[in-house]
Structures are given as structure tokens and as C-alpha cells.
A = this chain, B = another copy of it.
């Protein structure tokens, strides 16, 4: 049975977001205040950086690691990137025509609807709680996420790319200032719950802009050349 969300509109605080597009994802008829990410309230207590990462990765483009006129805005809401060049200039003072073509295509590739981003956030939370050493999920959150994505199976979240089990503790590790777990996409140009997962940083980098199928095809070709079976 699909969940009935409250979906009441929210004001937003970000310079680059559309205030009309924030909605409450508590269940319809809830008491008290609205909440865009109610299923992340527990992680806010026990692993606030994981919660922040899930929200960031589901809703924001990544872009360059620095911000400049040339590189464009370094993080911008994915659904904002669905707007036309004209609307971006008018509403957000983002002049796409001033950016390099490669920056524009990188930003446009990350575009996704608000609905998809919200679904991705729920899916990533579901996957985080399915890691072997994840914090124990509160019953209410479990029911909420299971209604969306089926039974939570502990220890079932593997790296999207290499399929090795991922440890929740990796969220806390960083090497050279970069997190060891990244959000990855089976098809990098599709930001939807069926298409996202967590991956080792090195695996995500190795996959690059290819789809997972293309990446595995490439690996098989290379292995057949460098280590042929006699």
C-alpha cells in the first residue's frame, strides 16, 4: 500500500532553491510540525554527518569543488537545473551562457525532479540502515521505509559497483579529505531510487561516466586481453 504523505508546502532557506518545491514527508494527518525528512530524524541524533550527506547527495548537484564565475555554482539543487537558461538567469542570477560548455553539460546531467530527489533520499536512508554495523532503526522509521522499499535486510547493502559489503563506519572515514563512501548511480545520468546506491569512493571514480553495464563490459574486455584463459 503506498504511503500517504502530508505534502504540505514549506518555505526554503537556500538562495538557489525554489520555495514552492519543499514539501512535508510525514504521513498525512500527522500531529505537530511538518518535516521534509522525518525518516532522518534518528540519524540526526546518532550520525548527523550521514544524515547531512544523504540530503546533500540526493538533492544537490556536485559540480566543481570550488566556486567561481568560470566553474559555476558548486552546489545547486538538482531540480533547479531543470529550469531554462532564461529562468535560471532571472530567478537565480545564474548565467549559463557565461559557463564553459563542459560545466553546463555537467550541471544539466545532474538535473532531477524534486520528487525523484526525495525518493532518492528515502532509498539512501533505507540502504544506510541495511549496512552491517548500522545503528538500530527506530520502529516507526522502519515501517515508513519498508512500506516504500520492501523489507530491510540487515547486512545487505553492498557497494553498488564492486558488490562488497559496505560498512556504516566507512561514512566516518575520509582519506585525503574525501569520504570513503559516495553515492553512486548504475546509470550516472539517472537520479532515481532504482538507480542509486552507495559505493566505495575508488569504485565510483573507476566507474566514471559509464553505466555499470558498460563498465563491467569494459572490465571483461580488458581482463580477456591481459589475462586470457589458456
Q: A residues within 8 Å of B by Cβ? A: 66, 100, 102, 106, 161-164, 175-177, 202, 205-208, 216, 218-223, 225-227
Contacts and interface: CB of A to CB of B under 8 A. Distances in A.
Contact of A220 (B164, B205, B207, B227): B227
Contacts of A106: 176
Given A161-B222, A220-B227, 16 more contacts: A100-B177, A102-B177, A162-B218, A162-B221, A162-B225, A163-B222, A163-B226, A202-B208, A205-B205, A205-B206, A206-B208, A216-B226, A216-B227, A219-B223, A220-B223, A223-B223
A216 B218 CA distance: 12
A124 to B, nearest CB: 21
Nearest to A163: B225
A210 to B, nearest CB: 8
Contacts of A161: 222
Q: How many copies altogether? A: 2
Contacts of A102: 175-177
Contacts of A175: 102
Contact of A66 (B66, B202, B219, B223): B66
A216 B208 contact: no
Contacts of A177: 100, 102
A138 to B, nearest CB: 33
9 contacts: A100-B177, A162-B221, A162-B222, A163-B225, A205-B205, A206-B207, A216-B226, A216-B227, A219-B223
Contacts of A223: 216, 219-220, 223
Contacts of A206: 205-208
A77 to B, nearest CB: 23
Contacts of A221: 162
A169 to B, nearest CB: 20
The listed residue with most B CB atoms (<10 A of its CB), out of A100, A219, A227, is A219
A216 B228 CA distance: 12
A175 B106 CA distance: 12
